[in-house]
Structure 1
Amino acid sequence: MSTGTVAALRRYPVKSMLGEVLESVRVTEQGLSGDRVFAVLDEEAGTVGSAKHPRKWGALLRCRSRLTGSGAARVELPDGTALHSGEAELDKRLSELLGRRVSVSDSPPETGGGVLERAVPEYEGGVPDIVRQRAFTDGTGETITSGRVAAGTFFDYGKVHLVTTASLERLLAVHPAGDFDARRFRPNLVVDVPGGGPGFPEDAWPGGALRIGEVLFRVTVPTPRCVVPTLAHEELPADPGIMRTVAREHRVPVLTLGRLSCLGVYLDVLEPGTVRVGDTVTVPHSA
């Protein structure tokens, strides 16, 4: 059964930096080729840089990363300077930008996962209640929680992230003053699903399969949202109303974590291949 078409493909070679738009991409069991293969690490604290803690790492969203033909990351800094991963000057300039000693690494922890800090949002469903109870205030004055990236990767959880145009349009309809540009939610796949339905069509997908181009995906869980969609992205201004709207309109059960504010779904890769803009998204009869 046809569900929609791929409207956009994006990858983010350096975690929490702006990424690049693609027309096609190879997808392996580890996700989109070149996606989140680098991260900025705090040399002293050992934490993984993530804009989920905006006071500490928000400046990463003012940088853009692209993958080069040799597999390095080309990073464009806020002043337009372009440097490559592995260059000492890049680490120096990022350290100056962030106010702490950092380096760009392509070596995620093999076991245990690197420490990942997240600001605790004020809106309901931003974090599980049990996690909110363990929150603490750090040196920046921000209330945060601390977790870990998935072992052997720089992913928070899912390997591939998908959002639908139908869900974005549903949110815009109830908060027309907001700009629900897909870029705010940092998806790998934006799927154009024809309107006219109840909205949030991906709610019915977890546990099933999606065929997108050559690739067969398993839909795992809804994607819980953090503060990142409220931050400025390129020309999109900061807008706290974005996540307040998600929290009001779409809190759904996620595993055993309770009802969380979600948009989109995470995918695992069952059969690798290539995905292209314009590919049809189908639900196989055997799913």
Structure 2
Amino acid sequence: MLRLSALYRFPVKSLGGESLQRAEVDALGLAGDRRWMVVDAASGRFLTQRQLGQMAQIAARWRDDETLELSVSGRVPLAVAVPPADEALRGVTVWGDSLQVPDAGEAAAQWLSAFLGRDCRLVHVPPSRARQVDTGYAQVGDQVGFADGFPLLLIGQASLDDLAARVGRPLEMLRFRPNLVIEGADPYAEDGWGRLRIGAIEFERVKPCSRCAIPTLDPHSGERSNDGEPLKTLATYRRDADGVYFGQNLIQRGQGVLEVGMPVTLLD
């Protein structure tokens, strides 16, 4: 039987994630997932572990619906309030999308800049300022926050287990930063799924996830693997003309609640 075996949320794009037993699904994906982002202060361009591996060391947690907490070893944690949706707007860029979103203020900017060693800002995306998902794969009105392109990422546990066996050592699921982990299927079975239902919510699989260098970083320290794994091995059997793929992007077709342990039903 297919079941939801893990839920992960990443409140700030490219900072540390949190494992959940229960999560709400809203119009942008998992509630609170990737609703914040660190950007270069001068250009507004998004920053990730691709440039700054030490971002992985910063834990980001929701204290409540209106307060984010940032923490890292050796520093006093910082509470950041969700800013008003239409005040202190800053122009930012995420891949090819440019948008105006509220800045989280000086305290957050100084805290992050001091740790990361460069001048940066923290911004928040309210639902009213979310991005349209690429209509080559989605419907008009499908939205996403600061995730790379789609609201949700799914990975099969058996797929990670197969990759780890090929690499020859255990691999943390957090290297791949999924939202949903499914167990009970064969390795890479998710490649062929269409629509699925978990609890009362339907999801549509829309596109394989092309992987960048982030899976080669330790998900806790941000240190890069010396041997290029696991991407080196993935590239031997999961590459096509457009990249190396692992995991599947989803779009939710409804809202509700997910809980670890829920059965997963394939609809087509």
Q: How many angstroms apart in 2 are the aligned matches of 1:110 and 1:37?
A: 11
Q: How many angstroms apart in 1 are the aligned matches of 2:150 and 2:229?
A: 25
8 Å CA contact 2:28, 2:144 repeated in 1:
no
Q: How many angstroms apart in 2 are the aligned matches of 1:166 and 1:12?
A: 22
Q: In structure 2, give the amino acid aligned to 1:192.
A: E
Q: How far 1:66 sits from its partner (Å)?
A: 0.5
Identify which of 24, 38, 46 aligns with 1:48: 46
Identify which of 67, 72, 75 aligns with 1:72: 67
Specify every segment of 5 or more residues in structure 1 that has no aligned partner in the other structure, as ranges.
114-149, 253-257
Q: In structure 1, give the amino acid aligned to 2:59.
A: R
Q: How many angstroms apart in 2 are the aligned matches of 1:236 and 1:60?
A: 7
Give the TM-score taking structure 1 as reference length: 0.74
- CA deviation string 1:126-171 (max 9, x = no partner): xxxxxxxxxxxxxxxxxxxxxxxx9873121110011111111111
Identify which of 141, 165, 171 aligns with 2:163: 171
Identify which of 32, 35, 44 aligns with 1:34: 32
Q: Give the 3 Å change call, closer, same or farther, for CA 29–280 of structure 1 in structure 2.
A: same
- CA deviation string 1:20-55 (max 9, x = no partner): 11111110231000001111121102111211x23x
Q: How many angstroms apart in 1 are the aligned matches of 2:40 and 2:66?
A: 23
For residues 251-266 of structure 1, the aligned pairs below 5 Å read 251-252=239-240, 258-266=241-249
Q: Give the 3 Å change call, closer, same or farther, for CA 111–165 of structure 1 in structure 2.
A: closer
Q: Give the 3 Å change call, closer, same or farther, for CA 234–67 of structure 1 in structure 2.
A: same
Q: How many angstroms apart in 2 are the aligned matches of 1:233 and 1:112?
A: 27
Count matched residues.
233
- CA deviation string 1:99-146 (max 9, x = no partner): 222121114795989xxxxxxxxxxxxxxxxxxxxxxxxxxxxxxxxx
8 Å CA contact 1:17, 1:63 repeated in 2:
yes
8 Å CA contact 2:208, 2:248 repeated in 1:
yes
The residue aligned with 1:153 is 145
Q: In structure 1, give the amino acid aligned to 2:248.
A: V
Q: In structure 1, give the amino acid aligned to 2:64.
A: G
Say whether 1:247 aligns with 2:235: yes
Q: How far 1:259 sits from its partner (Å)?
A: 4.2
Specify every segment of 5 or more residues in structure 2 that has no aligned partner in the other structure, as ranges.
81-103, 133-141
Give the TM-score taking structure 2 as reference length: 0.79
Identity %: 29
Q: How many angstroms apart in 1 are the aligned matches of 2:60 and 2:239?
A: 32
